[in-house]
Structure 1
Amino acid sequence: MDITATIFLPLAASAGAGAIAWTWIKFVLLAGVIIIAGLKLTRYGDVFTEKFNLSHGFVGFIFIGWATSLPEMVITIASISDPEIANPNYAVGNIFGSCYFNLFIIALVAAVFGVGPFFSKVDRNLVLSCALSMIMILTAMLALIAPTVFPGYTRMWDPLGGSGYHVSIFAFIIFGMYFTFSVLVFRHDRHMRLEGEGPSPEPEGGPQYADRSTGWTVFKALIAAGAIVFAGVFLTYTGDDLKNYHNLDASLVGTLFFAIVSSLPELVTALGAARLFLYDMAVGSIFGSNIFNLMILALADFLYVPATVFHPVSSKHLVTGIFVLVLSSLCIVGLTYRTKRKIGRVGMDVIAMIVVYFIGVYLIFFMKGG
């Protein structure tokens, strides 16, 4: 080894170690911002339920679900817009994988807080939100397979393809579904409030936040949401750097790590809501996040010019979609059947979700095929 190598290799190694340490520091700081902002956001969401006479489930579905999914929208659109890394598989995998992990968050919240039969404490009216999210994931799955099953109908699946601008017909459908379903959930929530069939947003002792300014609370909530978006975007990039530093890219551990990092806003806000016993808000935020995620996929299709993001992509995404449907179905079973059976402090329905989630993880990451 020559003298230059003797001098500079240790310096390079030291610089590399310093870069890794700084990346971890950024990761912890950004995660801390998300945790603090997420806890604040759930508290402001509780104020909104009283000020606007809305249910916790609806506030979670629309406001918190939207805020926690914005980082994923920025990351997905950035990946599609960058010609060097643009890949439809990344967009579809990111959205489907996020929806899958989000549903696992519900089981994780129930297991962490050990509240017994978890779904018996959640408003049954959230079945509607869950069912609508299933319709949207089914539509996205149909967008993946329709061009293969019916190859002779290219003009139908890609109506603008002749002009060189490729957008799937399903992107228009999913966009329409998102806004239609949001209005439907709002009207259903209002109907339940008027009929007195849903849980009252106001505690028995009377208004809890009468002294809170509505305008000031909205402003602070927007600041908290903005902090989650800002920190969530940079946390995702920082997590990707950590994967590269530690050579985790090709491993299951690395993939799961990135899924947790990108879904940290959803995880923190759901745990924060459950800590305040706002179980409807925790579950509603997950269903709302999943529906918003699928709208993001449709938006990505409009922005990705070379082809539609829905086709051709890996068949593994269909497996992910199937397990999203299975976990969503278990949520509906839990919300309607409301079993009292449990093992330890965790309900049987939640245990079933955890088992199914890890079966799906195994199949998704170890199955053969493109």
Structure 2
Amino acid sequence: MNTLNSWLLLLIFVACAASIWGAGIKLSDTTDVLSERLHLGSALGGVVLLAIATNLPEIAITASAALAHQLDVAVGNILGGIAIQTVVLVVLDAAGVRPRKPLTYLAASLTLLLEGALVVALLLVVVMSTQLPASLIAFRLTPGAVLIAVLWGLGLLLLRRAGRGLPWHEGGDAPDNQEKPRGHSKTTKENEASSKGVSTGRAGLVFAAAAIVTLVVGVFIERSGEELFGRFGMSGVLFGATVLAAATSLPEVSTGLTSTRMGDYQLAISDIFGGNAFLPVLFLVATVLSGQAVLPRAHHTDIYLTALGALLTVVYMAGLVFRPRRQRLRMGIDSITVLILYLLGIAGLAFVSG
């Protein structure tokens, strides 16, 4: 990549981003179809399948960076990805909600609060793990990375239990929220696929092809982007947390817009929170592939991004509780707050050393 001129690198980067967008749409559609056909639904297998499918670009980039021992890019992409994927909710609020009401007003439920709490809990473990010594590693495993994976699994079990009903009024859903039950958009997609004669085997092949494209393109977008933006003086951490994270969040944008336009607002937020909860698990992948304790080598900027991701999540959790009705620029007050905090947070990276 270092022998190519900047214009060609930019073309490769843009082409890879477009490929991720297109493949992300196919992954989203086929994941929903397969979940319905295989009766995964909201079961644990369906949640894991969706988390992996929507985060394939991050998986590819983390694996590629870990194997190349470019841990700064891997860590920056994971933690910066959490922050910017939370900002995807701002886009969904502004462009995806058809009624003149904020996204969190229509989607409010206790289950979503639990999903947000899981994200924050995992990010706290990330911060704690950065303080452990780098020598604390055995069999390519570190306590922090393993604990994150275990907590994620336990969190999914609790969320699955919550999805079957909570001992609260309306089962944990707020009054006057979305008309149809959460997840109805998946059933609609499956019905459309059936009406077009799309078999389960064909859906599986499309899913596999889109997954392969996403994984391959994920490697190229990381390498071309790092070389290109490195020539402009952008550090690996800043590149991973902003440009690369934005490019790899495109599947979440397309998936979220589909859900909100079909009136499945709870699913749109759940997909974002679910993806953000999965991203810290990639530290286990990075640790195993690199053979190094990744989290103890985190820089101050990485911890800063972790806190930013948690802060943005808490703002939306507050929005789910208070359910603001007022809108400005087609966004709820919580979305405007998140957007401002994110811009200030990214600007603040310039003042964080190492």
TM bucket by the smaller chain?
Answer: 0.7 to 0.9
Report the structure number with the largest CA radius of gyration. 1
Match of 1:341 among 321, 326, 336: 326
Q: How does 1:84-99 map to 2 (within 5 A)?
A: 86-99=69-82
TM-score by length of 1: 0.76
Gaps of 5+ in 1: 1-14, 148-153
Question: Which residue is 1:181 aligned to?
Answer: 155
Does residue 287 of structure 2 align to residue 301 of structure 1?
yes
Q: Which amino acid is the alignment partner of residue 335 of structure 1?
A: L
Question: Which residue is 1:366 aligned to?
Answer: 350
Aligned CA distance change for structure 1 residues 239 and 63 (closer, same or farther; 3 Å)? same
Q: Deviations over 1:209-240 (max 9, x none)?
A: 45454444344333333333333332232322
Distance in 1 (CA, whole Å) between partners of 2:48 and 2:264 is: 15
Aligned CA distance change for structure 1 residues 334 and 33 (closer, same or farther; 3 Å)? same
SS of structure 2 residue aligned to 1:249: coil
Question: Which residue is 2:146 aligned to?
Answer: 172
Cα distance, 1:144 vs. partner? 0.9
Question: Which residue is 1:111 aligned to?
Answer: 94
Distance in 1 (CA, whole Å) between partners of 2:140 and 2:182 is: 47
Aligned CA distance change for structure 1 residues 250 and 296 (closer, same or farther; 3 Å)? closer
Aligned CA distance change for structure 1 residues 253 and 94 (closer, same or farther; 3 Å)? closer
Q: How many corresponding residue pairs?
A: 332
Q: Which amino acid is the alignment partner of residue 54 of structure 1?
A: G
Q: How does 1:39-118 map to 2 (within 5 A)?
A: 39-47=25-33, 50-51=36-37, 52=39, 54=41, 61-82=47-68, 86-113=69-96, 115=98, 116-118=101-103
Cα distance, 1:346 vs. partner? 1.1
Q: Deviations over 1:91-124 (max 9, x none)?
A: 3322111111111111122123365411122252
Distance in 2 (CA, whole Å) between partners of 1:214 and 1:93 is: 37
Q: Which amino acid is the alignment partner of residue 189 of structure 1?
A: G
SS of structure 2 residue aligned to 1:183: helix
Share of identical aligned residues, percent?
24
Question: Which residue is 2:312 aligned to?
Answer: 327
Question: Which residue is 1:314 aligned to?
Answer: 299
RMSD of aligned residue pairs (Cα, Å) = 3.5
Aligned CA distance change for structure 1 residues 304 and 244 (closer, same or farther; 3 Å)? closer
Cα distance, 1:146 vs. partner? 4.4
Aligned CA distance change for structure 1 residues 250 and 221 (closer, same or farther; 3 Å)? closer
Does residue 263 of structure 2 align to residue 263 of structure 1?
no
Q: Deviations over 1:126-177 (max 9, x none)?
A: 2222211211111111101245xxxxxx9xx8263xxxx6643112211212
Gaps of 5+ in 2: 174-180
CA contact (8 A) 2:256 2:268 kept: yes
Cα distance, 1:72 vs. partner? 1.8
Cα distance, 1:241 vs. partner? 3.5
Q: Which amino acid is the alignment partner of residue 308 of structure 2?
A: F
SS of structure 1 residue aligned to 2:75: helix
